Chain A
Amino acid sequence: MDLINLANCNRYDIGIIKEINELNMYDKSCLSGGEVEARLLEMGFIEGARVEVLHLGAFGEEPIAIRINNSNSIIALRKNEASAVLLEKIKND
């Protein structure tokens, strides 16, 4: 199964995180290596978690608002950070 990038997801897409890797980012981060990855992990992103794209920013652009697993709070992030996250899309139910 092909992996898709969280930054390319549409609204209501649901997927399972397969990989969080800075090397996939659109623009290389200006932070020291591993830092963006650590921040994403800290905010709750983790391989195996289910994510759902809830909202897109103005005119369908960044930032995107997503839910991780079924936490009661929502995480907003810009596309460049989102591009570090690869998903396996699961059927939208």
Chain B
Amino acid sequence: MTKIINIALVGNPNCGKTALFNSLTGSRQRVANYAGVTVEKKHGYFITPNNTKCTLIDLPGTYSLRSRSPDEKITREVVMDEIKDESKIDLILCIMDATNLSNGLRLILELKQSGKPVIVALNMMDIAKTRGYHYKLDELSKILDCEVVKTVAIKNQGINELLVAIDKAIPNLVQKPHTWSVSDAKGVRQYHAQVAQIIEKIKISEGSPSVWTDRVDNILLHPVFGMLILLVLLFLVFQSVFTFADIPKNFMQDCVDHLKDYVVGLFPGSLFGSLVGNGVIAGVGTVIVFLPQILTISLFIVLLEDTGYMARAAFLMDKIMGSAGLHGKAFIPLLSSFACAIPGIMATRTIENKNDRLVTILISPLMTCSARLPIYTLLISALIPSKTVLGFLSLQGIVMFSLFFIGIIFALLVAFVMKIFFFKGERQPSIMELPSYKIPGLKNVIIELIKPAKMFLKRAGTIIVSISVILWFLSTFPVAPIDAILPAIDYSFVGILGHYLHPIFAPLGFSWQVVAALIPGMAAREVVVSALGTIYALSGTEDAMQNGLGVLISNSWTLAMGASLLVWYIFAPQCASTLAVVKRETNSIKWPIILFSYQIVLAYVMAFLVYNVISILMK
């Protein structure tokens, strides 16, 4: 049995570590154009041409081993074998961005002090070539006393050479004594001096930075228009949810409706037909039709991340984030939370200060995540006329954008309040890197769209199906007495529970059906739509049977009721997985409880206000 070689992938943020990890191991980890994409260690496997098995560990990017933030700490712990019960690292694969050599070289000098053997991959060679960054690599290899391989990770170039270099290194992997210690400012200056000497020796031509990045930035980071462009961009995202995503959505809706009618028609009057038709198809179908919308949001976020705009958005928002007491970087997790709060919460690992990170974690769930789209879309389509404003803007899109905007404003307000009362502290330094723009690769974009689609369909196929079936049972049994006057569902468990809890939510204008749907909706936000579908389908009104949930809502709900439920969904902690992740990331049960409580209070108060104000205005 030969030994498995453990290789750690270390380098500055955004130098292409994950891209290289994917090429070497065939994985599909997230690659995107901003610092701080990878915040966990990820294991992958490959076999060298000489048949040695290797474990490759992708790590968060770092400038040094001082580990200022939780993600950088992970890198330090792995490289320095600080974790018990984990196999030791045999070899460090250090990646450097060839267009930003000095940052990379400082890290390598530090890595060499771990005493471990190092191989260098000089990545982004394509850009280095076009921009004229040329170096004598054999000289570099001699000075660093290790192999230096040129790579273009996203085009799989240099991978074979890298594998050969790894094979060559394997027979004599020796650990030299460990001489590393945390460096202070003086230590970093020494590294700078060493690096300057190295670069002097290996430099052929100095290269020049991307010109069109500067040109694009002149527009996108413009002191006045920059902010406006950011707003317009976000606005377009939510408009498109209602314009072009609506076509495939309506088509899918028709298919689902026909399928349901067909199935119910196959077993006229039977319980089984009702289970499949009203339970499974009504439940899952009402959710699945939102796939195009979720993909639209994901597409925009992937494009923002892959072009390099994400870091610019953080730059533009820095002042506003700062006035809420947050780190500029905090806007990146918040923007990521549009797709889902969970990766957003994970992304807070790049924030150095513990309190700043906590506050960012606690406000991320207020961002409009894609799981809210089904309920938002359902209610907005049902209650807001589909008019165009100013000739081209959809009114529904504007309402959607306002909901998202309310989320952001309240997130900042909550952060502000928490910073004043609970996390007093001075402003933290905020230094970040803005990468040069890149054109997103089609393959990468498709991979990143398949991921949320798969996850969404998997949830529909598992959680939502099972909840729908359970809900169908609970809404069908016990069956109504023969002499029943009310619809049958009123006598079922769901009916009983809904009626029982109804008084708590009556001040918010929720009907008992909504209350009953909120309970399974705790598991995941999109479930509420399917639960409403099932409950109304079983409430047996003609409307619900024939025209679907949207029409039923637009006919029988008041605007105040719909608005109140929308507002509830901006704030309410209707997502069990988010709470679980907050518990894991903060390592305590206290924070998810605080998160849950403040969200529920906020949701209740805001929904109450909105319901009553609109009710009074509409009188």
A residues bordering B, Cβ < 8 Å? 27, 29-31, 34, 36-44, 46-47, 54-63, 65, 67, 69-78, 80-81
Nearest chain-A residue to B314 (Cβ)? A76
Per a CB cutoff under 8 Å, which of B63, B131, B432 touches A72? B131
List of A residues within 8 angstroms of B224 by Cβ: 58-59
Is A39's CB under 8 angstroms from B429's CB? yes
Is B431's CB under 8 angstroms from A81's CB? yes
Is A39's CB under 8 angstroms from B217's CB? no
Is A42's CB under 8 angstroms from B64's CB? yes
Is A76's CB under 8 angstroms from B192's CB? no
Say yes or no for B428: interface residue by CB 8 A criterion. Answer: yes
List of A residues within 8 angstroms of B183 by Cβ: 38
List of B residues within 8 angstroms of A57 by Cβ: 223, 315-316, 318-319
Nearest chain-B residue to A38 (Cβ)? B185
Say yes or no for B506: interface residue by CB 8 A criterion. Answer: no
The A-B contact count (CB < 8 A) is 139
Cα A77 to Cα B431 with chains together (Å): 4
Per a CB cutoff under 8 Å, which of A36, A47, A56, A78 touches B328? A78
Q: A39-B68, A70-B209, A78-B322 are in contact. Are A31 and B429 (CB under 8 A)?
A: yes
Is A74's CB under 8 angstroms from B319's CB? no
Is B434's CB under 8 angstroms from A65's CB? yes
B residues bordering A, Cβ < 8 Å? 14, 63-64, 66, 68, 97, 99-100, 102-103, 106, 127, 131, 133, 183-185, 188-189, 192, 206-210, 213-214, 217-218, 221, 223-224, 226-227, 311, 315-316, 318-319, 322, 328, 425-436
Is B188's CB under 8 angstroms from A42's CB? yes
Nearest chain-A residue to B101 (Cβ)? A71
Cα A20 to Cα B100 with chains together (Å): 21
A-B CB proximity, top 3 nearest: A72-B99, A30-B426, A41-B188
List of A residues within 8 angstroms of B66 by Cβ: 38, 42
Cα A65 to Cα B223 with chains together (Å): 12
List of B residues within 8 angstroms of A75 by Cβ: 431-434
Nearest chain-B residue to A84 (Cβ)? B429
Cα A34 to Cα B213 with chains together (Å): 33
Is A44's CB under 8 angstroms from B435's CB? no
Most buried by B among A46, A57, A62, A72: A72
Is A71's CB under 8 angstroms from B434's CB? no
A/B interface sample: 28 pairs, CB < 8 A: A29-B426, A30-B427, A34-B184, A34-B185, A38-B188, A43-B63, A55-B217, A55-B221, A57-B316, A57-B319, A58-B227, A59-B224, A63-B315, A65-B434, A71-B209, A72-B207, A73-B14, A73-B209, A74-B213, A74-B433, A74-B434, A75-B431, A76-B328, A76-B432, A76-B433, A80-B427, A80-B429, A81-B429
Is B68's CB under 8 angstroms from A56's CB? no
Shortest A20–chain B CB gap in Å is 8
Is B184's CB under 8 angstroms from A38's CB? yes
Shortest B377–chain A CB gap in Å is 32
List of B residues within 8 angstroms of A34 by Cβ: 184-185
Q: A72-B100, A72-B209 are in contact. Are A41 and B217 (CB under 8 A)?
A: no
Is A62's CB under 8 angstroms from B209's CB? no
Nearest chain-B residue to A37 (Cβ)? B185
Q: A38-B185, A63-B319 are in contact. Are A72 and B429 (CB under 8 A)?
A: no
Is B184's CB under 8 angstroms from A62's CB? no
Is B210's CB under 8 angstroms from A72's CB? yes
Nearest chain-A residue to B228 (Cβ)? A58
Q: A60-B223, A72-B436, A75-B434 are in contact. Are A54 and B429 (CB under 8 A)?
A: no
Nearest chain-A residue to B64 (Cβ)? A42
List of A residues within 8 angstroms of B68 by Cβ: 39
List of B residues within 8 angstroms of A40 by Cβ: 431
Is B221's CB under 8 angstroms from A65's CB? yes
List of A residues within 8 angstroms of B100 by Cβ: 71-73
Cα A57 to Cα B328 with chains together (Å): 12
Shortest B275–chain A CB gap in Å is 57
Shortest B217–chain A CB gap in Å is 6
Nearest chain-A residue to B189 (Cβ)? A41
Is A41's CB under 8 angstroms from B102's CB? no
Cα A56 to Cα B207 with chains together (Å): 25
Is B217's CB under 8 angstroms from A58's CB? no
Shortest A47–chain B CB gap in Å is 8
Q: A54-B217, A62-B318, A67-B209 are in contact. Are A78 and B430 (CB under 8 A)?
A: yes
List 9 additional A-B contacts (Cβ < 8 Å) besides A42-B63, A61-B319. A27-B427, A39-B68, A41-B188, A65-B221, A69-B102, A73-B97, A74-B213, A78-B427, A78-B430
Q: A30-B428, A39-B68 are in contact. Are A72 and B185 (CB under 8 A)?
A: no
Cα A31 to Cα B430 with chains together (Å): 12
Is B214's CB under 8 angstroms from A54's CB? yes
Shortest A25–chain B CB gap in Å is 10
